[in-house]
Each structure stands twice: as C-alpha cells, then as structure tokens.
Amino acid sequence: MRFVLLILAIISSCAGLSPPQPDLTCTISPLGAGHDDTDQVLAAIEKCGHGGHTILRDGVYNITRKMTWDLVDAKVDLHGFLSFVPDIEFWLNPNNTYRVVFIQSQASWFVITGSDFEVDAHNTGGIQGNGQPWWDFFTTVPREDGDGRPISLTLFRAVRGVIRNFVIEAQPFWCNCIAESQSVVYDGMKCNASNTNATFFGQNIVPNTDGIDTYRSDDIALLNWDITCGDDCLAIKGNSTNILARNITCRGGNGVAFGSLAQYVNLTDMVENVFMDTMTMTRINASIQPNMGNGVYFKSWDGTVNGAPPTGGGGASGFAKNVTLRNVVLDRVNRPTTIEQTNGGHSGDLPSIFKFSDIHYENWSGTALTNLGEFVALECSPAVNCTTIAFEGFNVSVPAGEAPEIVCQNVVGLSGISCT
C-alpha cells in the first residue's frame, strides 16, 4: 500500500505548513443583516491571502457574487458562514459563475486556489448554500448537467492545501469538487442536503447534491466526512489517482461512486490507487431522503457515442484499477455493490472499452434489501472484461427468507463469492 503511506506523508507535511507572518493579519466581522459582505471578504483575502492570516469572526457573511480565494503560504480561520444569496436566476447566468470544472461544464460560485494553505472552519463555520429555494425551483424545471447550478466549494489547481472542520449546509448542487489539484487534505467535512418542505416529504428532491467529485487530481485525502445527500456521497471521476478516504459516513443517496467514466470520447480516464477504509452507508428517515441506493458502485459509459457532453457522450477508453474498499458497514442499502458499463447507452450500442480491475472488498458487514434488485451485480463489458475482483470477509445479510442473487458477467479472476 505504498500510495497510502505516500498520502499519510502528505497529511503530515500539510499539517506542518509554515505559519503565516504574525504581522500580516486581517480580521473581519459580518456587516449584519441586509448588508453585502462580499467586498470586505475579498479585500481581506487580497491583503492577507499571500503569507498572512485571515480571520472571519463568527456570524453570517452575505455573499452576492462569485468569489475566488488565492491563498499562498496562508491560513484562514473561518468561524462564521459564507451565505450565498439564493438568487437563482442570477446564479444560473453563466456570466455570474466560474466554469473551471471541465467535466460536464459545471459551474462554481466559490473557488479556492493556490498552494501551502489551510482553511479551518472549526466546526462552527463554512458555507450556507440556501438550497431549499433551489430544490423547490427544480421540482418543476428540468435538471441536466452543466445547467448552471453551482458547486458550493471548488478547489481548483490547489497544491498542498488543507480544508479542516468545514460545514456546508443545504448545498444546491455538488457540495465539493476538487479539480486539477495535488496533495490536498480535507480533514473534517460535513455536508447536509435535507429537504424541509413538507410538500416534498418522501421524495428525493435533492439529486446531484454529491458530497464531493474528484477530477484530474492526485494525492487527495478525504478524512472524517459526514454526508447527507440525495446522490453520490463520494464520486471518484476521471484521472483521480492516489486517493485516500477514511472514516466516511453517508446518510441517504446513492452511496460511493466510481464514475461516471469514459464519457469524453477523445479523452482517456484513469483511476488508480484508491484506498477507502471505515465507511458507513445508512438509510435515514424516508420523509427526508427515501434513497439509500448502494454501498459502492462503479459505472462507465458504453462504447458508442450518444450525443455530446455534458449530457451525452460515451465511447472513451481508460481503466480503474487497484481499488481497496475496507471495513464497510451497510444499513439497509438497496444493493451492496455493482459494476455497470452501459451508462447513457442504448440497445445495440458497442460494449464499453473501459476496464475495471484489481478491486478488493475487505470486511463488509450490515444489511441489504434484495427485493429491490440483485445483491451484487458485476456486469462487465465483453470487450475488455473485469479482472481480479476479490471479496474477503463479505458478510452482508439480506432479509429473512430471501436468497441473495449474485450476477456475474464477463468477470475473470473472481474470488470470495459465488455467482448465482
């Protein structure tokens, strides 16, 4: 597990970042209800974001436009919440957000970039996404990738950074995304997308509220996460390498996703060296979030190009390999795990040329609801097969009187379970 040791070394080095200059400190407080804090926040970061220390005292900071923090050899103590005004039409205008996340043309309203920095929210601050008006709005408006709904917190081209003890409430869309970054540690992240509108109790009106999507990033540690969402708790997308996830709690949603992958026909997706340890997927009150889809699932587009990204695509190559999923506890998930290689596909399409291999399931326990589908479905592409899929200590139970159905297609080198 060389890559795990490498990431742990990165965590240690990030924890020892050089302290900011003691004479370069910027301290601000919220201006109060009805006032716009965007200018004063940006001014503090501009003054102290390189080599200094910025302190945002407790309270609510009203943010009315897109914001970048360029941090170099700097620390930010964020004791309060950055509250992004829920002006939906304003944020859906592409001119009012950043498009730094290439995949699926996603929008961002808050971007952190730079090197050798720490942002600590002390479990008392972070981002207020004011998602409820967004979720209500999109119950009658179609959703699609790239439509302009903003990611709450985006790290872009960040190197040797730490995000610590951060809370994101009511993210309208993805809670986090890290793109084109290296050697970053998230230690303590809470995301909470919980519908409070009784009109929609029992429905999932918070899709696409992923905890994080990783993309084109290397040496990333996700430690101590607590995610309530209606979609992927963690999503490992293309060219994510040397990823460590540890002590992760997923409440509702679809579970942990690898994908989707192979969407862009002219690009190769590579996912390699992913170690996930100590994860819990738990079903919550169905009136708040009825979904608890999977433990961990893998998905790629098939081999035919159907339309163009951000909403279509397919036909690309690549691989996901050397993935270890250890110490996973499931609470009434629909299905513990699956590999599915026909995302966005149609009958008669070419099989996927994206390959999954060296996937290791170790010490899984808990419960699954088999009446909602197969217990395990490894439905791999006949063009490339899945190779070396190993189960060790896989002790997930099903309701009394039901027999677990394990589907295996085009798997070479399967161990630890038997296909039905």
Cα(304)–Cα(315) distance, integer angstroms: 5
Coil, strand or helix at 41:
helix
Mean pLDDT within 324-337: 97
Whether the per-residue pLDDT at 168 is higher than 70: the answer is yes
Mean pLDDT within 97-107: 97
pLDDT 10s digits, 259-312: 999 999 999 999 999 999 999 999 999 999 999 999 999 999 999 999 999 999
Task: Please say if 231 is a catalytic residue.
Answer: yes
Of residues 2 and 99, the one with the higher pLDDT is 99
What are the start-end ranges of the E strands in 79-132? 81-84, 98-101, 106-108, 110-120, 126-128
- Strands 153-169, 150-151: parallel, antiparallel or unpaired by DSSP? unpaired
- For residue 292, what are the β-bridge partners? 253
Q: How many CA atoms lie within 13 A of 371 on its CB side?
A: 5
Q: How confident is the model at residue 370 (pLDDT cuts 50, 70, 90)?
A: confident
Cα(127)–Cα(346) distance, integer angstroms: 40
Whether the per-residue pLDDT at 3 is higher than 60: the answer is no
Q: What one-character-per-residue DSSP string does 155-214 give?
A: EEEEEEEEEEEEEEES-SS-SEEEES-EEEEEEEEEEE-----GGGTTS---TT--SEEE
pLDDT at residue 126, rounded to an integer:
98
Nearest residue to 351 (alpha-carbon basis) of 361, 341, 366, 360: 341
Mean pLDDT within 4-31: 70
Mean pLDDT within 95-120: 98
Choose the catalytic residue: 73, 231, 232, 302: 231
CA 416 from chain centre, in angstroms, equals: 29
Q: Which residues of 195-212 are buried (b: 16+ CB within 10 A; e: fewer)?
A: beeeebeebbbbbbbbbb
pLDDT at residue 22, rounded to an integer:
62
pLDDT at residue 166, rounded to an integer:
99
pLDDT at residue 16, rounded to an integer:
54
Cα(367)–Cα(397) distance, integer angstroms: 5
Of residues 21 and 84, the one with the higher pLDDT is 84
CA trace torsion 62, 69, 191, 233 (10° rounding): 140
The share of the chain scoring above pLDDT 90, in percent, equals: 91
Nearest residue to 102 (alpha-carbon basis) of 1, 45, 181: 181
Cα(343)–Cα(354) distance, integer angstroms: 12
**Would you tell me how many other CB atoms lie within 10 Å of the CB of residue 346?**
10
Whether the per-residue pLDDT at 249 is higher than 80: the answer is yes
Mean pLDDT score across all residues of the chain: 95
The share of the chain scoring above pLDDT 70, in percent, equals: 94
Q: Which of 8-22, 142-156, 255-269 has the weakest average pLDDT?
A: 8-22
Cα(223)–Cα(375) distance, integer angstroms: 28
pLDDT at residue 403, rounded to an integer:
83
Nearest residue to 72 (alpha-carbon basis) of 43, 87, 52: 52
Q: Which two tokens stand for residue 56?
A: 């945002």
CA 13 from chain centre, in angstroms, equals: 24
14 CB burial (10 A radius; 0-12, 13-18, 19+):
buried
